[in-house]
């Protein structure tokens, strides 16, 4: 493989991804297939009424929802504060609640972090029930820096169905 073909790391150099903290994650479906939900407009039939977009989960979306909830209960060191299942991706605000670093050097590879363990288990359980792999290989994460950053990302999750047609993952 050529050097230019290698994936570039989006990880913050020197940051310990096993330490307690909050993360905004995005998990995408391969080829942006819209298989998890649809965005329905409620109130469109009422004259001069507000049109309120809401997420309607497909069967695959219901499976994803089930595993997000189950894994949040299973992993005692991880808590999902809020999430939204969009047609072709999922956004979530996830907390690592217990420091698992135990004096080791800072893990910078996703496969070594509690967050990565959560995402890979989630994908594996969903794929097993789906009968095929539907997820992109990796996932995107952003370290939440402070309470204002957390509030901004919570609002982003809540507003995502409103902005679906303007979303970069809409196609």
Q: Quick one: pLDDT at residue 51?
A: 73
Q: Domain for residue 149, yes or no?
A: yes
83 within some domain: yes
* Confidence at residue 1, expressed as pLDDT on a 0 to 100 scale: 47
C-alpha distances in Å from residue 44, one per residue of 47, 48, 54, 56, 164: 8, 9, 12, 16, 16
**What is the reported pLDDT for 169?**
57
Q: Enter the pTM of the model.
A: 0.82
Structure tokens at 122: 């989630």
Q: In the structure encoding, which two tokens stand for residue 52, read together? A: 């309120």
Number of domains observed in the structure of the chain: 1
pLDDT tens-place values along the chain, 171 residues long:
454 455 556 666 667 777 789 999 999 999 999 999 999 887 656 666 677 889 999 999 999 999 999 988 888 889 999 999 999 999 999 999 876 555 444 444 444 688 889 999 999 999 999 999 999 998 999 999 999 999 999 999 999 998 887 765 555
DSSP string, 62-112: HHHHHHHHHHHHH-TTEEEEEEEE-SSEEEEEEEE-S---TTPPPP-SGGG
9 in any annotated domain: no
117: containing domain: 18-102+110-166
What CATH number did the domain enclosing 123 receive?
Answer: 3.30.70.1290
């Amino acid at each position: 493989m050529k050097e230019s073909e290698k994936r570039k790391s989006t990880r913050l150099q020197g940051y310990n991804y096993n330490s307690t903290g909050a993360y905004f994650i995005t998990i995408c479906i391969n080829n942006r297939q819209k298989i998890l939900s649809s965005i329905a407009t409620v109130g469109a039939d009422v004259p001069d009424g507000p049109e309120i977009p809401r997420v309607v989960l497909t069967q695959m979306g219901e499976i994803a929802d089930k595993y997000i909830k189950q894994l949040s209960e299973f992993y005692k060191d991880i808590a999902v504060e809020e999430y939204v299942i969009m047609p072709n991706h999922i956004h979530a605000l996830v907390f690592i609640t217990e420091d698992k670093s135990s004096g080791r050097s800072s893990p910078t590879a996703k496969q070594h972090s509690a967050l990565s363990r959560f995402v890979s288990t989630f994908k594996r359980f969903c794929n097993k029930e789906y009968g095929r792999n539907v997820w992109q290989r990796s996932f995107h994460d952003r370290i939440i820096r402070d309470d204002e950053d957390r509030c901004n990302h919570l609002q982003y999750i809540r507003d995502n169905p409103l902005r679906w047609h303007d979303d970069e993952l809409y196609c």
